[in-house]
Structure formats: C-alpha cells, structure tokens
Amino acid sequence: MSSFTTRPEILGRFGVVASTHWIATAVGMGILEKGGNAFDAAVATGLVLQVVEPHLNGPGGDMPAILYSAKTGKVEVICAQGPAPARATIDHYRAEGLTIIPGDGLLATVIPGSFDGWMLMLRDHGRLPLRTVLEPAIFYAERGHPVLPRVAHTIAGLGAFFRKEWPSSFQTWLPGGTAPEPHGNFTNPVLAQTWKRILTEAEGKRDRDAQIEAARDSFYRGFVAEKIASYLEAAEVMDASGHRHKGVLSGDDLAGYRAHTEAPLTHDYHGWTVAKCGPWTQGPVFLQALALLKGLDLGAMDPLGADFIHTVTEAQKLAFADREVYYGDPDFAPVPIEALLSRDYNTARRALIGAQASLDLNPGTIAGFEDQRARTMTLLEALSPTDQAVYEPTMAHLSEKKGDTVHIDVIDAEGNMVSVTPSGGWLQSSPVVPGLGFALNTRAQMFWLEDGLPTSLAPGKRPRTTLTPSLALKDGQAQMVFGTPGGDQQDQWQLVFFLRYVHAGLNLQQVLDQPLFHSTHFPASFYPRAREPGGLMIERNIGPAVLDDLRARGHRVTEAPEWSIGRLTAARRMPDGLLRAAATPRLMQAYAVGR
C-alpha cells in the first residue's frame, strides 16, 4: 500500500480528540488545554456537535458512551438511551391506525436521554465546572457558526414542509423565511437562551456537583420539561404516516428519568478484547462477528481483496440476523448473549459461511427461544424486500433528509478514554419545541407494534438503538476507542476498521483511508424497515477486479462513489503513553487533533 494518507496520523503525549466536525474537535482540545480531562472534553465536544451538526443530533436525542477511567481502572458504559413513555403502548398506536411507527413526528419520541448522560459523565468523571464545558456550545449557538452545506440543503429541502406543517421548525431553521446559505453564519439564539437559563439556575448552587444536579433538574423536572410537556399537550403534527398525530411523552416521563452506568459486554480476538454496549444496542453484533471470524485465517487475506470482503460480509449477515431475533432491552426480555457468543454456537454458524453470497436471512436457533425465532421470522418475511433499502444514511450519495449521528473519541495524558455516539433530535425528526430551540427524537421507530418480541413497544422499555461506540483493550490494557455514525452500518464499518487494523499492520489513518463496504442484506432498523437480500454497497475505488469477483460470488453489488461511505474516527494510547488519533476524510468534516 502507498504510504500516502489524506491527512497524518496524529501523534502526541498530551491529549487527542477526534470527532465528526472540526469545530467540535477544536473545542474538545481546548478543554484539555484548560486542564480538563477526557470526560470534560467529550462533554464540551458533544454539546457543540448539537449546534454545528443539528441534522445529526440535538439536545432532545440519546447517547451511549463507553469509557475507561484511569482512576478506577474500569471500563464502563453510560446508558443515556431514554425509554418509551408510560403511554407508549401497542394498543394506543394500533388505535391510531398504525402498523409501524412513523420515522418522524411526535409519536416516534421516547424520553430524551442525552443531556442527562452528559451530566452524569461530567459529574462522575470530569473535573471542570459546568460553565466551562457549556460555554462553547452557547457561543456557537449565540454568535453563530459556518453552516455545513448538507445542513443548509436539508433545511432548504424541508422549508415548504416546515412552513405548512411544523411552523416552530420554520422559525428556527429558516429565520426570516429564508434557508441559510452553505457556509453562511447560522445562529440558534433560542437554544442559547435555554442553555444560559440552565446555567443560571445551576449556579444558584455552591459546589460543582450540586450545580450539575441542578442542571439535570432544570432539564427533566424544571422549565425545559415544562415547555416540552406544555407543547405536547396540544401539538398534533404531520408525520411519515401521512396523518397528524399527538405524542405520548409527558412531564411525568421526563421527571422520572435518570441515565445510568452499566457493565460492557466483551469478547477476545487475537490478543485484543473489544468492549461494547449491551443488547439494547446493536453492539453485540460486532462481538458475534468476531466470534465467527476468529476461527478463520483473516490475517492471510488481502484486506482489500474479495476473499476478505466476502468472508466479513457473510459473517456480518449471520450476526445481524441474530440481532433481529434476539436483541432488545434485557430488563424486559431475556437475551441469550452467552449462547450467541459461545464457541459451540459459533463453530456451527461458521460452517454456514460458504463460497457464494447468501440471499437468506438466517438467524440461529437457541434452545428455549424457538417460538420467538418463529414469530420474528414471520414478521420479517412479511416485509417487502426492496432494491433500495432505506438506512440511516451517512453517505453523501443518499438522501440528505434522513437523520444520522455523530461520534467522538478522546484520550488524555492520564490514560482516560471515552468513545461516544450521540444521535437523535435531528432538525428533520420532529418539530422544534417552542421556546427551547431544539426538537425531540424519533428513536421509538425501532420498536415493533407486535406483541411478544424483545423489541415490541412497551412503556419503560429502551428501544434497540443502532448507536454503538467501541473500546478495545490489548493484553488487558485499555488502549483504543473508535466509532462512526451510520445507523445499521456502524458496527459493519467499525468491524472492517478493527480487522484491518489488527491484521494489516497499518496506522490508524491508513486504515481509515481504505475503501469501505457494508451489507444491506438484513432489515433496516429505521422506518420503513426495508432490506435488500444479498445487497453489498462498496466504494468503487476498491477496483474493478474485486467488484467483478464479488458479483461472481453472488453479491448484489452497488458501487458507491469514492470517499462516500463511513465517517470513522479512532484514537489509541500505546503502552509507553504515546497517543495516536485519526479521522475519515469523507464528507470533509471529521477531524482529529492532538499534541
């Protein structure tokens, strides 16, 4: 491989920050310079991303994080995925004439979790005051930022709809009735005032922890919750079903919410241990794929060759098929993770990886779950396969009107590290809440309106999110954090990155610059839940010989333009304390910095 990369792998010893927008990355680095640690930096970076990438995340969204604390020596997960509201029952949605939850509007809203998750991270792991980490977001909301072309185009494309159906969004995103120009200065003064009021109320308390707790109260039990509840009492808005609906979220739902910490799931692969969030995310598919692939000699394969791409794709098809049957909130339904990651199960499943691409959706059978498998397959087989599966797109060649996600990786000199994938509350997801300057999320679209499944809608249940940050240990030592936006593609792209990094002996940036691919074989997690059997999307700079080989193996190949798939970032701390970081050049937004 050529030694040329699109930008250097960042090296240093003080700290590294990588995120999906250069302004947010710079803010994170500034927090480290002010004496903050990796967790302070991640919080400030995440809050700024809500301002500069409002089509990809917002204050009304959700957030899982996976972190390593040098102080405790522990790897932990912060779950800030809000659950379904108390009135979110299958009967209610069926009575509204729905068989599938719309992908936008108010019925798709669960409790917004991200703000509480950020505050939990700041309180328990950070050390800077609330004001220090909140002020950069206030600055960009109040003073403005150069709006991304994709944001400007998204707003322009939705302007007529906002004017007619979501007037509060029209006022926020088309101030004065005009969509912003690409790279024009864009402000959100109402959001700035929301954060300023939260800060003012918090600083009525004397010590740092009490201020952070007061900020949580302002959002979930104070004026923010009151404005949300007041709006939802009367609002009835158009959504993807083609009809107007009221939401089911209430002030009581918000008042009772708390983000929490839990243990990660892990799996070993070639001296590495990968830590992921639990089965309320899609994260375990990454671990299942590793369990399948470690019985094959990937190291002997060209990481850019057809053998590698075919083998990894077929393993992913098997893992994602299991996701559909078995994953969900483990507080509501048993999830047989130990069986899914067991040696015997994966030895049997590995034999299904053949020379030709599978066109079947083929989940495994776990003892005691036969009925669940049968019911799920009946539901999935009723979906109409399509030639154009609809995923949460992060690729430039797909619709700019779908929402997506952002990602952050930070490591400091002490060895603290955090990987976090915030999402939801997109500007195109639901109307802006008047007086707050942000929209609510649409994560409830992950639920099924069928009884008896791990992902059946139920009050208090977490939707099975696609958000899936990663942390990896080498020889028992926490060393690397990585992740990407991209809905169902997140763990696919991360797996490709990780396998190439482990086996090819390349640096982080070299791996991120290599052509990416993903399968569209299994059902999408997002409305309208389409799938494309045998579908394989791949950047065409992989080369015509590889593309022809994959087609000959039965893959239904869609060639994507060069530099159009994936938004990965990554950071690593070597045993001697050397820090490394890298970010994808795709979409010309993500950036890694460090010193």
Q: What are the tens digits of pLDDT across the range 173-222?
A: 999 999 999 999 999 999 999 999 999 999 999 999 999 999 999 999 99
Q: Is the pLDDT of residue 316 over 70?
A: yes
pLDDT in tens, 2-32: 679 999 999 999 999 999 999 999 999 999 9
**Length of the chain counted residue by residue:** 595
Phi, psi of 3 (to 5 degrees): -80, -5
CA dist 574 and 347 (Å) reads 33
- pLDDT > 70: what percent of the chain? 96
- Domain around 245: 43-258+416-446
Based on the domain organization, do 215 and 268 belong to the same domain? no
Which pLDDT does position 124 carry in this prediction? Answer: 98
Count of structural domains within the chain:
2
Distance between CA 150 and CA 55 in Å, rounded?
8
What are residue 193's phi and psi, to 5 degrees? -65, -35
Q: Is residue 297's pLDDT more than 90?
A: yes
For residue 396, pLDDT beyond 60 = no
Q: Taking a C-beta distance cutoff of 8 angstroms, is the pair 431, 168 a contact?
A: yes
Same domain, 491 and 423: no
Residue 20 lies in a domain: no
Q: Mean pLDDT, to the nearest integer, of 511-518? A: 97
pLDDT of residue 2: 62
H/E stretch holding 162 reads helix 149-165
The reply to whether 197 and 69 lie within a common domain is yes
Stretch 358-382: mean pLDDT:
94
Q: Which two tokens stand for residue 561?
A: 């333009």
Domain harbouring 381, CATH code: 1.10.246.130
Task: For residues 481 and 275, give the distance between their C-alpha atoms in angstroms, rounded to a whole number.
Answer: 10
> What is the spatial distance between Cα 311 and Cα 553, in angstroms, rounded to a whole number?
11
Q: Give a yes or no: residue 498 inside a domain.
A: yes
| Residue 97 belongs to a domain | yes
Same domain, residue pair 227 and 268: no
Q: Collapsing DSSP states into helix, strand and coil, what is residue 301? A: coil
Q: What is the pLDDT of residues 215-263, one digit of tens each?
A: 999 999 999 999 999 999 999 999 999 999 999 999 999 999 999 999 9
158 domain-assigned: yes
Residues 168 and 227 in one domain: yes
Higher pLDDT, 379 or 107: 107
Confidence of residue 384 (pLDDT cuts 50, 70, 90): low
The answer to whether 78 touches 67, Cβ cutoff 8 Å, is yes
- Quick check: 528 pLDDT over 80? no
Tell me the average pLDDT across 513-519. Answer: 97
Residues 176 and 321 grouped into a single domain = no
Is the pLDDT at 393 greater than 90? The verdict is: no
**Could you read off the pLDDT of 149-170 as tens digits, one per residue?**
999 999 999 999 999 999 999 9
pLDDT of residue 276: 98
Q: Give the per-residue pLDDT at 401.
A: 47
- Please determine, for residue 389, whether its predicted confidence score (pLDDT) is greater than 50: no
Question: Is residue 433 domain-shared with residue 485, that is, in the same domain?
Answer: no
Q: Same structural domain for residues 245 and 228? A: yes
Q: How far is CA 488 from CA 150, 324, 449, 494, in A?
A: 21, 12, 20, 11
Residue 340 has pLDDT above 70, yes or no: yes
Going by pLDDT thresholds of 50, 70 and 90, the confidence category of residue 382 is: confident
* Mean pLDDT for all residues in the chain: 95
pLDDT in tens, 461-486: 999 999 999 999 999 999 999 999 99
What number is the average pLDDT over the span 51-57? 96
Q: Which residue has the tokens 């989940």?
A: 363
Q: Are residues 237 and 191 in the same domain?
A: yes
What pLDDT sits at residue 1?
53
pLDDT at 257: 98
Residue 25 sits at φ, ψ, to 5 deg, of: -60, -45
Rounded to two decimals, the pTM is: 0.96
**26 belongs to a structural domain:** no
pLDDT at site 404: 81
Looking at the fold, whether 77 and 200 belong to one and the same domain comes out as yes
Question: Does residue 12 belong to any structural domain of this protein?
Answer: no
Mean pLDDT of 559-571: 95
Task: Report yes or no on 170 lying in a domain.
Answer: yes
Check whether residue 266 and residue 253 sit in a common domain. no
Q: What percent of the chain has pLDDT over 90?
A: 93
Q: Which residues share a beta bridge with 267?
A: 274
pLDDT score at 400:
41
Same domain, 66 and 193: yes
> Is 537 a member of any domain?
yes
What band does 386 get if pLDDT is binned at 50, 70 and 90? low
Rounded distance, CA 359 to CA 275, Å?
A: 30
Given a cut of 50, whether residue 387 has pLDDT beyond it is no
Instruction: Check residue 527 and give its pLDDT.
Output: 78
